[in-house]
Structure 1
C-alpha cells in the first residue's frame, strides 16, 4: 500500500528536494527506512555522563564499523571503532550484558478462530532511547522525589516515562532500532530490553544502520562493514558483530544498508558478508529491502530479482528474514509469498513493513492485502516504531495512560483478544496474529511488574518513592489482556501504579458486581505430581464483600474461542501483618500425568452499589516449601565518586546467586531500607547514596529474588565515608 503523506511530517524525498537541510544531516539520528519522515528519532548529542572517572554512568554501546567521522563528536558522544573493540577492556560490559536465557514458548489454543496457529508473525523495530547517552541499567529518579496519591504526577516522574512494552506474546522478534552518522552506526541492545524479551521467549536484534547520504551517510562505512581479509577469507567486522552479540547476550542483527553510490562489486561484497554472518554463527540476520544487486539503493517493496540474492542465493538461504519496504501492494505481497515458496522458504519470513511512527493505531493499513485471501496471512508484519503509544502519551499523563494506548494497539478496540473486531480500521494485532507465550511452570511467580513505575514496593511496603524504569525486572505478564467471561464482563482490569505490593504496580479489577466475572491470567504447562504439595498463592487487597475464587484448568479448550474448562477453588484469607494486603493459599491436587493448563480468577461482590474494587499483588505457583535463592556472593564496589552534595555515586558488582530472577539493591537507613534499584544483571549503578548522622559507613544490601519471588538473605556491602 502507499502510506498517505502527513503534511506536518515531510518525507525524506521532500528533505532531499529542499537541499538546505542536507548540511544538518550528520546531526540527525536514524529516522527511517525507505521514504521516512525527516524528524529526528533522537538528538545527536547527549548529556554528559553522570559521576566521574571510573564511576561514570554505564551506557549502552554503539560503534562505527571501522573509521570514524572527521572532526570531533558532540558533547556526550564517543566515537568508537568496532574493529578496535576488546570486550575484556570494556568497563561497561558487565552492565550491558543480558543474563536471562531465551525462554521456551508455547502456543495455547487460540482465543478466537481468526488467528490460526502457524500464521503471520510480527517484528517490531523500536527506538527505546537515543543512540548515545542511553543508560545501561534503566533510570531511577532523584532521592528527593515526592509521592502524590490518586495517580497524579510525581516529582521525578519522567523516569517512569519509557516504552515498557508488555504485549510480547504477539512478537516473533524485536529490533533495537537506532544509529546515526554523528554518533555511531552499530547499536547493541541494552541489557534490560534483552532480559525482558528473553523472559518472554522473544529474540532481540541489534541494528547496523548505514544511513542515506542526506542523513550523513558515507559509502566508506559500507565498505568498512563488508571488507574481506584476503589472507583468511573472513570478514573482520562480521566476526566482531558475532562477538558482540555473544558477550552481550542478544540474538542477531538487522542490517539496513541505505547509503547510495554503490556498484555491483559492493553488492556482491555485501552478499558475501551476509553469507559469512550466517555460516559463522547461529545469530539471526534480517535484511532490509534497500540495496539491490546493482549496488544502488532502490526500495522494491517486494521480493524480486533485484533483492532476492540478499535473502536466498544459489539455492542457499542468506538472511533469515527480510523487511519489505512500506509501499507494498496486495499483488506485490502475493508475488513475494509465491516466490518465497518456490525457494522453499516460509513466506512468513518476509515482514511487510507498516510505518506506525507518526499515527500509531490511526495508521491506514490494507489489512485485506495481508489476510483476506488467507487468515494465516500472506506474509508476516513488520512494525516500524510502534513506541508511538509511548511517544504520543502526554508528558503529564500517568503510566496507565500509556498502557491503555498500547493495549489498543495490540488488542484492538474491545481491549479483549477473545472479542476481535476484524472490520475495524485498526482491528488490533490480536485479531490476526496468534499469541505465543513463555511456558509457565512451577516454581513461578509474578507481581505483574511492567518494568516501570512511580514508586517501588517490597512485600507490601514502599521502599522507594523514586519514579523509575528498568525492563530487566519486568514480569511475564498475562498474555491475553484482558479476556473476561461470565455475567460480570463489565468489570475492568488495569495496571495500578498507586498501590504496588512488590515492584511498581499491581493489577486492579474494578466494577465487580454480584454477577461473577471470570478473568483469564496464564496458560500453564506445569506437571503437578502426587505428593509435591504445590500451591497457588494469591496476595490481594480488596473492598469488603469481594469473593475470590481461583480458576484452574486441567485440560485445554476443545477449540479456539472456548474457555478453559475451569474448576473453582476457595481458600481462607490471611492478613499480612503490617500491610493492607492478605494472602490466600490454594493447594493443588496432584497425581500421575496431572498437568495444570490454565490459571484465572473468578470474582463477585456481595455488596450493594456500583461495583467493588480488588487488587492482585502477587501470584505464586510453587511447592509450599520452596526455598529462597542463595544470597549474592562477593559483593564489591568497583568505583566510587563523591558528588557535590556530599552523596556518593557507586558502581557495584557481585556474583550470581542460584535461581535468582533479579536482584534488589538498597541502603539500610535509620528509617528503614531505601531502594536504589533492581536489575537482572550482577552489576548496578547507584546514585544519591547519603550519609546519615553519626554514620561512618553506608550499609548496602543486595537481595536475590527467586523465580517465585521468595527473597534471599542480603549480601552486605559497606561504603566507608
Structure 2
C-alpha cells in the first residue's frame, strides 16, 4: 500500500491549509515554510530553550512539546514556544499542574462477544490521532463542542497522541483530559517523538541529539522521556525517526537509545512503540514489513507500527518472523490510512483480519478523526457521534448484527470489545466529554458550549446492541438535554414490540444491599421501563444474555421526583446474587412513537456519601479576566472537581470541571457594580455526589 493521502500538520502561523505530501513523505512532516537551517550555535540554542513568542498568552496552559536539545534559528511564530527536552525539569514546569493526568490506567476484561465474528486474544487496534495542532492546543479543553470526542475505547489497545512539526516541536506530551478519558477505559496513551524528513524541515542534528550519550555511556534523553511520561501521567512513547541522511553509526546509536528507553520504560511501567522508517543502517527506508532491516528495533520495543507499504505477503511473513523471535504476531500494527476517506478507504482486510482464519497481525488506524473532519464546518456533536458510530460499529450500527454486505470491516466486526466496569460503586451520566451546554441535576448551569474529555464517563461500549422483534428504534447520544454534563442517551422510535437496549458488559459483584439507580425521562409517548439484568454470561458469542427483568415504573406511572421531568428510581436487586454480567433496559410502549431519555445509572450498595471538600483554593495567576486556580485535593475517591461562579443574584454559573488540581478560566468580566467575585470549588465523587463548596474571591 502506498500512503498517498497523508497530509502535513501545520507548522505555525502563515501556513493556511494542509498540503498534500508525495507518497514517500510521512504524514506529520512540517511544511517547507517551517524549515530551519541545519546548524544552530550551542550558546544560541541554550538562550532559546525557553524562548516564547511575545504574542503568546502568559496564563493559558497548553499541551507541551519539545525539541530534543537545540532549537531552530530565528524566532518562533505567534503562539509557539520553543523548548528543549534536555533542559526540562518537572520542578520548573509551571504548566505541569494543568497537564498531569490523574486517572490511573484501569484494568480491563473481555466479555463474551456480541457477534460470532469478533475475536478475543488476536488482532488488536492502535489509533494514531491528531487531537489538535502541535502548538496552541489547550491543556484542559476549550469553549467549543466541536472536537474529536473519542468514545469507542473498547476496541482500542493503544492510543498515540499524533503530531509534531519542525517549526513548533518534535516531541509531544498528550493532553491530560485525553489520558484521563483513555485510562478510565483501560487504554494506554503514548506521546509522540517525531523526527521529520529533511524536505519538511527535519534536521539530522535533532536525531543525533536525541541519541547522544553522556560520559557514562547512557542516553540522557531516554531518561528524560521516561521522566516526562511519569510526571505527566501517560504511558510511554511512539518513536518515529524519519530524518534521512544517517549512516550505520547513527543506526547503531538509535538502537542503543531505543534499548535504554525500553528498559527504563519497563521499570516505570511504560511502553515504547517503534515506527517502521529508520533501518538498522541509519537510513530511512519504509519497509512495510518486519524484516532484517528493522528487526532489531522491534526487539528493543514493545511493538512496531508497520508502514502502509505492506502487502498480504509481507504481513504474513512479518507475523511468522515475530513468532520465530518469541514475540506475538499481534505486536505488529499494520498501518491503515483513513485520514482522507474514512470508511470508504480501500483496505485489504483479509491480509490483516481474515474472516475465516486466524488474524494475521494487528492494525493501526492512521487519523480516524476523519469521522469529525470530513463533516461540514457547522457540524454538531450528534452528527459527529453518528459518523463515529458508523466507523467503529459498521453500517448496521449494531455490533450484535453486523451487515455482511458492508465493505468497511468495522472494528466491532473483527475485534472483541473490552470493559472496565468491574467494581462497585459504578455510575455514569453518559457524558461524552463535550456538549452545547452544561447540566446539573436536570438544570442548565451554563449555556456555553464546551469540551473536556477528562469529564467523559465510562460509556456503553457496544453501540448500540438493540434486541427487538419489531422495529428498531434509533439510539444515540443526544445533546439537547441531559441530567448531568452535556449528553444523555435518547431512544427514539415506534417500539411496536418490547425493546431491550444493552448498556454495559460488567463484572459487578452483587451483595444483599446492591441497588441500581436509574434517572430517566419520557419526552413523547408512554413507555414501561424495566431493568434487564444478567447474572450469567451468554451461552456463546452472539447469544442474548439470560436477562432477569425488574420493573422500574409501571405503565401508568408518571410521577416526577426531580426537576424538568427527570425521574430517579432506585431498584433493589432482590433475589439476585453472584456477578452482574450485563446491564440493559427493556422498553415497552403503550402509546407511541416514543422518545425516552436515560440520564444516569448507578450501581451501589450504601447510600452515596459526598466526598471531602478540597482545601486551600487559591488564584495563582491573574491577567484581566484570565485566572489560574489551584487547590489541594481532599483524600479519598474524587472523580473530578467543578468550579462555579456566584453571581450577584445568588445563582451559580458553571465555569468548568477537571480531574486536575488546577484550572484555567479565560475572559471573565465583572458584573455591573461588582467589585469582587466569589468562586465555589467542589469535589465530585464516583456516584456524582458533590462535596461542600470551598470559596475563593477575586477583586477586580
Question: What is the TM-score of this pair, normalised by structure 1?
Answer: 0.89
Query: Match of 2:256?
Result: 272
Question: Are the counterparts in 1 of residues 115 and 400 from structure 2 also a CA contact under 8 Å?
Answer: yes
Matched, 1:209 2:194: yes
Structure 1 residue 656 displacement after superposition: 1.6
Give, in angstroms, the shift of residue 441 of structure 1.
2.3
Task: Say which of 677, 682, 689 aligns to 2:661.
Answer: 682
Paired residues of 1:540 and 1:614 also in contact (CA < 8 A): yes
Asked if the contact 1:512/1:603 (under 8 Å) is kept, the reply is no
1:712 counterpart residue number: 691
CA RMSD of aligned residues (A): 2.6
Does the 8 Å CA contact 1:541/1:615 hold for their aligned counterparts?
yes
Counterpart of 1:148?
none
| Structure 1 segments unaligned to the other structure (5+ residues) | 13-20, 141-158, 313-317, 643-647
428, 443, 446: which one pairs with 2:425?
443
- Residue 663 of structure 1: which of 609, 626, 641 is its match? 641
Distance of aligned partners of 1:541 and 1:196 in 2 relative to their CA distance in 1, 3 Å threshold: same
Task: Go from structure 1 to structure 2 and tell me whether the alpha carbon gap of 1:29 and 1:80 turns closer, same or farther (over 3 Å shift).
Answer: farther
1:355 maps to 337
In 2, the alpha carbon distance for the partners of 1:181 and 1:412 equals: 37
Taking structure 1 as reference, are residues 533 and 481 closer, same or farther at Cα in structure 2, changes over 3 Å only? closer
Structure 1 residue 578 displacement after superposition: 3.4
Q: Which residue of 2 aligns with 1:76?
A: 79
> CA 1:129/1:662 → structure 2, altered by over 3 Å: closer, same or farther?
same
- Residue 377 (structure 1) shift: 1.3
In structure 2, the partner of 1:397 is 379
Q: Secondary structure at the match of 1:606?
A: strand
Q: Which residue pairs with 2:626 in the alignment?
A: 649
The residue aligned with 1:576 is 561
Post-superposition Cα deviations, 1:90-117, rounded to whole Å, max 9, x if no partner, equal: 1100000000000110100001121221
Q: Give secondary structure in 1 for the equivalent of 2:629.
A: strand
Preserved CA contact (<8 Å) 1:219 1:261: yes
| Structure 1 match to 2:240 | 256
SS at match of 1:547: strand
Cα distance change on mapping 1:630 and 1:50 into 2, 3 Å? farther
Alpha-carbon shift at residue 693 of structure 1 (Å) = 3.9
Matched, 1:429 2:407: no
Structure 1 residue 29 displacement after superposition: 10
- Give the Cα separation in 2 of the matches to 1:518 and 1:49: 58
1:421 Cα shift?
A: 2.9
Compared with structure 1, are the counterparts of its residues 619 and 301 closer, same or farther at alpha carbon in structure 2 (3 Å cutoff)?
Answer: same
- 2:327 corresponds to 1:342: no
What is the CA-CA distance between 1:712 and the residue it aligns to? Answer: 1.6
CA distances 1:237-271 after superposition (whole Å, capped 9, x unpaired)? 11100000000000010000000000111001111
Is the 2:8–2:20 contact (alpha carbons within 8 Å) kept by the matching residues of 1?
A: no
1:324-348 C-alpha deviation (Å, 9 max, x unpaired): 0102111110000000010010000
Q: Shift of residue 42 of structure 1? A: 13
Is 1:49–1:57's contact at 8 Å kept on the other side of the alignment? no
- Distance across 2 between alignment mates of 1:160 and 1:578: 25
- Tell me whether 377-386 or 577-586 shows the greater mean CA deviation: 577-586
The answer (yes or no) to whether the contact 2:646–2:652 under 8 Å persists in 1 is yes
Provide, for residues 493-529 of structure 1, a one-character-per-residue CA deviation record: whole Å limited to 9, x for no partner.
0111111111111111000423111010001111122
Instruction: Please tell me whether the aligned partners of residues 31 and 40 of structure 1 are also in contact (alpha carbons under 8 angstroms).
Output: no
The more displaced of 501-510 and 568-577 is: 568-577
Question: In the alignment, which of 303, 306, 331 is matched to residue 321 of structure 1?
Answer: 303
Structure 2 distance, partners of 1:564, 1:348, is 30
The counterpart of 1:632, out of the listed 614, 619, 626, is 614
Shift of 1:649: 1.5
User: 1:113-128 maps to which residues of 2 (within 5 A)?
Assistant: 113-128=116-131
Q: What whole-Å deviation, never above 9, does each CA across 1:454-492 have from its counterpart, x for those lacking one?
A: 111111110111111110001110000000002245111
Give the TM-score taking structure 2 as reference length: 0.92
Distance 1:631 1:25, change over 3 A: closer
Structure 2: segments with no counterpart, 5+ residues: 36-51
Q: Deviations over 1:157-205 (max 9, x none)?
A: xx11100000000000100001100000000001010000000000000
Residue 291 of structure 2: which of 304, 309, 325 is its match?
Answer: 304
Alpha-carbon contact 1:443-1:708 (below 8 Å) kept: yes
Alignment of 1:537-556 (within 5 A): 537-556=518-537
Q: Give the equivalent residue in structure 2 for 1:234.
A: 218
Aligned to 1:407: 389
1:533-557, CA deviations, whole angstroms, 9 ceiling, x for partnerless residues? 4333333343342111111111111
Q: Distance in 2 between matches of 1:30 and 1:180?
A: 15
Residues 635-691 of structure 1: CA distance to partner in whole angstroms, max 9, x if unpaired?
11101121xxxxx21100112232111111110111621111111111110123332
Q: Identify the residue that residue 187 of structure 1 maps to in structure 2.
A: 172
Taking a change above 3 Å as real, the CA distance of residues 51 and 27 of structure 1, as seen in their structure-2 partners, is closer
Of 128, 142, 150, which aligns to 1:165? 150
Q: CA offsets per residue over residues 385-410 of structure 1, 9 Å max, x none?
A: 11001111111121111111111110
Q: Do the aligned residues in 2 keep the contact of 1:528 with 1:589 (CA within 8 Å)?
A: no
> CA–CA distance in 2 between the matches of 1:32 and 1:685?
41
Partners of 1:385 and 1:551 lie apart in 2 by 37
Q: State how far apart, in whole Å, the 2-side matches of 1:39 and 1:52 are.
A: 26
* Conservation of the 8 A alpha-carbon contact between 2:8 and 2:31: no
Question: Are the structure 2 counterparts of residues 34 and 547 from structure 1 closer, same or farther at C-alpha, using a change threshold of 3 Å?
Answer: farther
1:578-600 CA-to-partner distances (Å, cap 9, x unmatched) read 32211121111367x62111100
- Tell me which moved more, 413-422 or 234-243: 413-422
Q: Secondary structure at the match of 1:542?
A: strand
Q: Kindly tell me: are residues 164 and 52 of structure 1, through their superposed partners in 2, closer, same or farther at Cα, counting changes over 3 Å?
A: closer
Aligned length: 672
Please state whether the residue corresponding to 1:407 is helix, strand or coil: helix
Match of 1:597 among 581, 585, 601: 581
Per-residue CA deviation, residues 345-400 of structure 1 (Å, 9 max, x unaligned), is 00000000011111111100001111237644100011111100111111112111
C-alpha distance in 2 between matches for 1:680 and 1:437 = 21
Distance of 1:541 and 1:48 partners within structure 2? 53
**Residue 398 of structure 2 is aligned to residue 416 of structure 1:** yes
Q: Which residue of 2 aligns with 1:135?
A: 138
CA distance in 2, matches of 1:85, 1:601: 51
Q: Is 1:559 aligned to 2:540, yes or no? A: yes
What CA distance in whole angstroms lies between the structure 1 residues aligned with 2:358 and 2:671?
62
> Cα 1:590–1:606, aligned 2, differ >3 Å: closer, same or farther?
closer
Where does residue 273 of structure 2 map in the other structure? Answer: 286
Q: In 2, distance between residues paired with 1:341 and 1:373?
A: 21
Could you tell me how far apart the structure 1 residues matched to 2:537 and 2:575 are?
17
Structure 1's 359 and 424: CA in aligned 2 closer, same or farther, altered over 3 A?
same
Query: What is the alpha-carbon distance in structure 1 between the residues aligned to residue 380 and residue 535 of structure 2?
Result: 39
**Correspondence for 1:92:** 95
**How far does residue 720 in structure 1 lie from its aligned partner after superposition?**
2.3
Distance change in 2, residues 1:135/1:31 (3 Å): farther
After TM superposition, give the deviation of residue 39 of structure 1 in Å. Answer: 9.2
Report whether the alignment pairs 1:223 with 2:200: no
Call closer, same or farther: CA 1:29–1:626 in 2, change over 3 Å.
farther
